[in-house]
Structure 1
């Protein structure tokens, strides 16, 4: 998904790309490595200043553009993608932090006029000297220090963090940069004399949280741009490079590596985007967003850039190829964000008291709709019946289900008379109203995938018979697709349907059927023409699960639960009225069902390892001050925030006219891998409790295979990403 989601943001990104193509070609940048390391500004810097991109975020009354962090992040991502050289990023970090610390400071007008700057955050301490302060030590390396006109320097003291604005003309230490396209240097406190601070911030300070957010959001956005370039470059290469008589990109190992690169790049982009959108949030939310951006936004770019080089092979490891320049930028950015362990710990501490808020609607958005929904849900809250049964999370029939179905709130995106044909914003408003009352929106579970197929392809009689009854909880569905010899390869199914008078006779076996032991009806794929090609001759049937000849055998899982089943179909009669579409339409109809399935699964992350681990630490069963436990919690939270950010970002892309794309399969892969990693981190923290049923930690871990397999295995999803999204050859 493009980093820029709306027309204005896309235009801004395209402007940066155009400026980079004209003024920041990598051939020219290569010739300037030595002068760039010394702090000289390349032609690209003047072009960015001429177009106001250096002051995009500064107040209009000071000569700036009056824009926000979201716009700066778009520029940073595009600059990272083009590897724009010079001091744009350190300059906007310095001026942006100064505006946060001392709004309207006179130096901001100088920044707006084109002065360069650098932000020095770590390594210095401050001590009193009479009426002023002296700085001790040598700062950590910081971007853009050599050549900067202004240095905004932080130093730690007993009073808190002190901030000083220094003239960049004073001597600095020039380091040899890893990123050859811009300077890195340090400030020696011994050379500075007595100074007066311009601001003081402390632990938990709101301004400090905003500075952290600014820095991490822009570093993450630039890293996302680097990762995007790496994916595009590697995929283009393996799609055309031939070995062993085939395109390299046709080999599954290569396809999976390329697909995982895209997954990491999309996670990085979503993390950076989430941090940028947190600019107006409260400080606690900003701390969550800043920390997760450092963990899941910045650092993955290093791995993506390295994987690009491995796919490029020897040519990618040469000095002449640009891949190592992007790899160097990723390494440099990851270093500048600071120690990963520290950010994991900070996120863990914040997560003990705060959850990330992913609401994106104003409280007064769609007031008439809100009032209508509020009236219905207030009545729901007064009823004793629950929305769902504890059995397979099915919609429980009764007054609540009837009330919600009458109000067309069970599936508001369905067309009338079953839903409201609600668009993305309307759906979000409805979900927000449920959330305000602590109510879980109803689910028809497998019905959420079946009903769209019936609405799109079923006849009026089928729709009248099944849709409303399902929305009221009277019909529960299962999906009879997978077989012992046809799991992810559904088209290889062998269940047969033979035409008889008035209907069809089904013979075969299905497996891994979720909830079949509780279902009233099932959707079944069966082969009606055994002589047709593999993806043809398949038909789509609605099967009454009480029909003679059906035997359901629950499969007990490693967890001890029995949620999946074998289903045996022995001469099961299905009337003609339960064939959806025409004979042979099954595969086409299945695409509708699976398409809805992937959207549903990919848009949710209900694992909850972070919440469980946080509760464990808060309850005192673990050491809530133990750095290792807090880092583990931070990693779990970062993964869950990144996945939720991808989901919200996808929704907003649709609001702006986009369609679901790569993010659907990407989210499915990342959700499964995140759950696997989260359970591992969880068990590593809880210790001996993991050998018991206490807290459900072992049960979470034992349930991971269901996530890795469900909705298509990770490997199948990687195939989908590689072949359908990245367009690699089969």
Structure 2
């Protein structure tokens, strides 16, 4: 999905893409001016359209995808910044009408004397500076930041042109000492978070455009390039490379979008969004570009192919954005006290629903549940990482009864079990929980079992199982995986033999989460051995108290055992516990329902920012403060990206758009984020990682549960490559 979410923004992106496509044949600057693309963000009185940063981001993504040469990006950055500092400045009209600009942000010092201002020092490299009509310059003055506008020949005197790695745009430095006294016109004073945000957002938007082009180019090549008598896109190594490129591309677009939407938020929110966009989009674009070159092989490493031109622009953007370590440390320091806001609803939205839900939750809290609790306390479990990492679930009790009666355990379920809540209603309910410090309880595996029963089960099955599960009286496990059928689930061997009044199950299941505590299991078994691999499988509900069921715990590397082996030795399952028709269980298992629970946040179970934050605040770490803060910044950026992915999916659904690759992308990125986070944590704590105290090493040892659960990352990459990117299966 590109940055654009609305129909208007998508139309804008299409118009820009068509214009940029003509840039290979002739100079398109006059067309950019005529189309209003230099002033789309400026006030109408200055010749602009009064739009904002989101529109600029949409344009930047399209211009980068077409590798538009020239001065558009530095010019709009200069005019955007000037409009924030001096909204009535006459130079704005010139910039909207085709004047070129550059934004100089550091390296210069302002000194007052004899009624004039002198600038000294030399700036870092600046895009678009050589030949610019205007330069907006930030210099360090006696009282802090000061802003100056330098124009025309006076500006040219101080410009040092440089050879840039990006072959499509001029770049240079500003030598303050070479400027004539009085050539710098003072515009404003003070820092401006909006300017920092605009730079980060538009750099990230360009990075997203580069990544999108790289994915499209790589996939097209992989579909047509033949080696060993078949397309290279059928090779798993190529599929995984392309799928990972897509994941990074989607995250980059999301990061740029999140930065652009922060335009109307507080300075603290703008700085959080700017830093995460740099870390999640601008820097990773270099790796995506390099992956494209290696996917293309020799042709990608030649001057004739455009890949190196995109690669060079990605390198230029990444370098100009500042170092990854400094940005991460800066974000980490900010994340000690600030948190990104991902709310999207009007606080007054659906007031009647808010009042009704709020009244129920107030009664829940009146039972003695602390206001700052997590869902584990609502359900009676200890509020700690171990509980969160294991199986939080609803348990019988007065609080659960209140929530179940109000349809708040699973509000997306249809009545009478839930409230039939759509996306907006679910978001309002989640907001009311969050206001009270309550996390919504979960039925865990019940969230897989119950929707299947609601979709395919009989009325009797629904009455028998749904309400007791929502009240915490039934806890489920999933009897799917087998020793020889893990990710290849359809190769399962557990047999179901038809007998009078029911079925006899014979086989073994493994990696069964929570089976040692569950009362019932959803089970796939092969009921027709003569049928094709994905057919002849039936879907059963198994009472784990039945004779012949044996549960053996599997002790994990952590020392705990959430997983189990389950042996089914001639276990009788009555006919009323077969869901759907015999032989159609695979379709039931693969069903993804449209009313799935809304995912609101991005907090990581393993390697989460909350762990690093606690370590830093306690000073219980071996790494230097800067290294620790950088680790926190990276974790925070990853979690913010996950939250932004979730938010974009929600808004897309609210807008009636079909969800694209976001679900698969979020699964892969979530797993990789947790993996990276645990390594960041271990690197920070140092020797303490040799101890069990604090649970940090145990946190890392529990990581495979995430990497394997719900399908390994490699399986998810196969899904993305084949079902999203359309690459051929092996041998085709």
User: 1:296-334: per-residue Cα shift (whole Å, max 9, x none)?
Assistant: 110111111111111111112222211111111111111
Cα distance in 1 for partners of 2:342, 2:283 equals 23
711-720 or 93-102: bigger deviation: 93-102
Cα distance in 2 for partners of 1:90, 1:121 equals 12
Cα distance in 2 for partners of 1:709, 1:594 equals 22
Aligned to 2:378: 387
Aligned to 1:3: 3
168-177 or 326-335: bigger deviation: 168-177
- Find out whether 1:438 has 2:437 as its counterpart: yes
Residues 306, 720 of structure 1: alpha-carbon distance in 2 compared, 3 angstrom cutoff = same
Cα distance in 1 for partners of 2:613, 2:68 equals 41
Aligned to 1:587: 586
Cα distance in 2 for partners of 1:6, 1:150 equals 34
Tell me the secondary structure at the aligned position of residue 567 of structure 1. strand
Aligned to 1:34: none
Matches within 5 A, 1:157-176: 157-169=141-153, 170-171=155-156, 172-176=159-163
Residues 631, 210 of structure 1: alpha-carbon distance in 2 compared, 3 angstrom cutoff = same
Q: CA deviation at 1:16?
A: 0.7
Aligned to 2:451: 452
- Find out whether 1:500 has 2:499 as its counterpart: yes
Task: Give yes or no for contact 2:243–2:717 (8 Å, CA) kept in 1.
Answer: yes
Cα distance in 2 for partners of 1:48, 1:461 equals 65
Q: CA deviation at 1:694?
A: 3.0
Matches within 5 A, 1:550-699: 550-592=549-591, 605-607=604-606, 609-622=608-621, 626-699=625-698
Aligned to 1:31: none
Cα distance in 1 for partners of 2:601, 2:502 equals 37
Q: CA deviation at 1:147?
A: 2.2
Q: CA deviation at 1:123?
A: 2.3
Q: CA deviation at 1:129?
A: 2.8
Task: Give yes or no for contact 1:452–1:593 (8 Å, CA) kept in 2.
Answer: no
Tell me the secondary structure at the aligned position of residue 185 of structure 1. strand
Matches within 5 A, 1:519-538: 519-538=518-537
Q: CA deviation at 1:127?
A: 2.9
Tell me the secondary structure at the aligned position of residue 342 of structure 2. coil
Aligned to 1:360: 344
Cα distance in 2 for partners of 1:599, 1:149 equals 50
Cα distance in 2 for partners of 1:360, 1:434 equals 15
- Find out whether 1:180 has 2:181 as its counterpart: no
Aligned to 1:156: 140
Aligned to 1:17: 17
Q: CA deviation at 1:254?
A: 0.7
Aligned to 1:106: 90
Cα distance in 2 for partners of 1:366, 1:175 equals 57
Task: Give yes or no for contact 1:132–1:196 (8 Å, CA) kept in 2.
Answer: no
Task: Give yes or no for contact 1:556–1:564 (8 Å, CA) kept in 2.
Answer: yes
Q: CA deviation at 1:598?
A: 11
608-617 or 124-133: bigger deviation: 124-133
Q: CA deviation at 1:251?
A: 0.6
> Please, what TM-score do these two structures have when normalized by structure 2?
0.94
Cα distance in 2 for partners of 1:436, 1:607 equals 25
Aligned to 1:489: 488
Tell me the secondary structure at the aligned position of residue 553 of structure 1. strand
Residues 604, 369 of structure 1: alpha-carbon distance in 2 compared, 3 angstrom cutoff = same
Aligned to 2:205: 221
44-53 or 492-501: bigger deviation: 44-53
Aligned to 1:728: 727
Task: Give the RMSD, CA atoms, in angstroms.
Answer: 1.9
Cα distance in 2 for partners of 1:374, 1:703 equals 36
Alignment partner of 2:57 out of 44, 61, 73: 73
Cα distance in 2 for partners of 1:82, 1:228 equals 10
Matches within 5 A, 1:132-281: 132-169=116-153, 170-171=155-156, 172-194=159-181, 195-201=184-190, 205=191, 207=192, 209-281=193-265
Unaligned runs of 5+ in 2: 370-376, 382-386
User: 1:495-547: per-residue Cα shift (whole Å, max 9, x none)?
Assistant: 00100110000010000000111111100000000111111100000011111
Residues 87, 449 of structure 1: alpha-carbon distance in 2 compared, 3 angstrom cutoff = same
Residues 570, 331 of structure 1: alpha-carbon distance in 2 compared, 3 angstrom cutoff = same
Residues 617, 401 of structure 1: alpha-carbon distance in 2 compared, 3 angstrom cutoff = same
Tell me the secondary structure at the aligned position of residue 114 of structure 1. coil
Residues 315, 594 of structure 1: alpha-carbon distance in 2 compared, 3 angstrom cutoff = farther
Task: Give yes or no for contact 1:135–1:190 (8 Å, CA) kept in 2.
Answer: yes
Task: Give yes or no for contact 2:600–2:646 (8 Å, CA) kept in 1.
Answer: no
Cα distance in 2 for partners of 1:615, 1:132 equals 51
Cα distance in 2 for partners of 1:594, 1:552 equals 30
Cα distance in 2 for partners of 1:138, 1:602 equals 44
Residues 710, 534 of structure 1: alpha-carbon distance in 2 compared, 3 angstrom cutoff = same
Residues 668, 562 of structure 1: alpha-carbon distance in 2 compared, 3 angstrom cutoff = same
Cα distance in 2 for partners of 1:605, 1:425 equals 24
Q: CA deviation at 1:659?
A: 2.5
Task: Give yes or no for contact 2:548–2:569 (8 Å, CA) kept in 1.
Answer: yes
> Please, what TM-score do these two structures have when normalized by structure 1?
0.94
Tell me the secondary structure at the aligned position of residue 349 of structure 2. coil
Cα distance in 2 for partners of 1:431, 1:19 equals 43
Task: Give yes or no for contact 2:207–2:282 (8 Å, CA) kept in 1.
Answer: yes
Tell me the secondary structure at the aligned position of residue 198 of structure 1. strand
Residues 460, 261 of structure 1: alpha-carbon distance in 2 compared, 3 angstrom cutoff = same
Q: CA deviation at 1:599?
A: 8.6
User: 1:636-677: per-residue Cα shift (whole Å, max 9, x none)?
Assistant: 111111111111111111111122331111111111111111
User: 1:582-629: per-residue Cα shift (whole Å, max 9, x none)?
Assistant: 111111001016999999799774336211111211123248972111
